[in-house]
Every structure is written in structure tokens, then in C-alpha cells.
Amino acid sequence: MPPAVNPFSQVLERIGFTELLPGEDDDEPAQTVCIPYVTQSNLEALRYWARDHQRRGLEPDMDLFDLDMADQYLLQMQLEAEEKKLLASDTPTPPDKFKDPKKFRMWSKAFETYLTRLIGVCDPEK
């Protein structure tokens, strides 16, 4: 494989992705590429790392991403997934419909409590 020209290609080489792709001098037509689980996990970590930098307004420096960084971000992804599962299982129940104006204060407290337990729609993973 020829040396990588841009930093992104260098990162793909570091995590072992470019070894799976057919070379330019291969005479055979491209077949289905089987990506090993570890390489796929490293690609997911690379994507998560880049999106994390984008979300925080940082310029991703491809020289900093290596296999150790991939492991750190894989762990962070797993922790975030577990946290989402816990939050999803703890769905708040809305208060009863507002019917009696005399009980507005009690209803409004229940409604405020309900709203504070809802997860926002601005999910950075989407």
C-alpha cells in the first residue's frame, strides 16, 4: 500500500483499516470486504472522536488519534450507551389532565417535575 497522503488516511492505516482494502495493482474486481470486529470498533471510535471534537468546537488533530485513543473512546461510548439505557428505562409519567382550576398549583408542581425528568430533543448523537 502506498504511503498515506492525508492525515485521515494515516489514521485509517494506524487502526488497521487500509490493510483490508484491495490495492491499486490488484487485477481482481473488488469483492465483498469483510471487516473484523476490532477494526470496525476502531472505526466507530474514530467517528465518535471526530463528532466529539466537532460538538465541542475543536479542530480534530488526526495525529493524536491512535489505538490507545480508540480504546478510550470505545469505553466512553459503552458508558454513554449504558447511561442512555438507564435513562430510557426511567420514563417519567405525565400528570393527570388539568381539569379543576382550584387544584392548579398542585397540578403545576407535578407538571414541572415531569418536565424536569424529560430528556431533551437536542441529542448530539443524532
Rounded mean pLDDT, 32-50: 82
Q: What are the DSSP calls for 75-119, one per residue?
A: HHHHHHHHHHHHHHHSPPPPPPPP--GGGHHHHHHHHHHHHHTSP
Give residue 97's Cα distance to chain centre: 37
C-alpha to C-alpha distance for 36 and 34, rounded to whole angstroms: 6
Grid coordinates representing 10? Answer: 494515516
Rounded mean pLDDT, 87-103: 81
Torsion of CA 22, 23, 29, 31, to 10 degrees: 0
Contact 47, 25 (CB under 8 A): no
At residue 126 the predicted structure's pLDDT band, cuts being 50, 70 and 90, is very low
pTM of the model: 0.52
Domain range annotation of the chain: 7-90, 91-126
Grid coordinates representing 66? Answer: 491512535
C-alpha to C-alpha distance for 103 and 35, rounded to whole angstroms: 61
Confidence at residue 78, expressed as pLDDT on a 0 to 100 scale: 92
C-alpha to C-alpha distance for 26 and 75, rounded to whole angstroms: 37
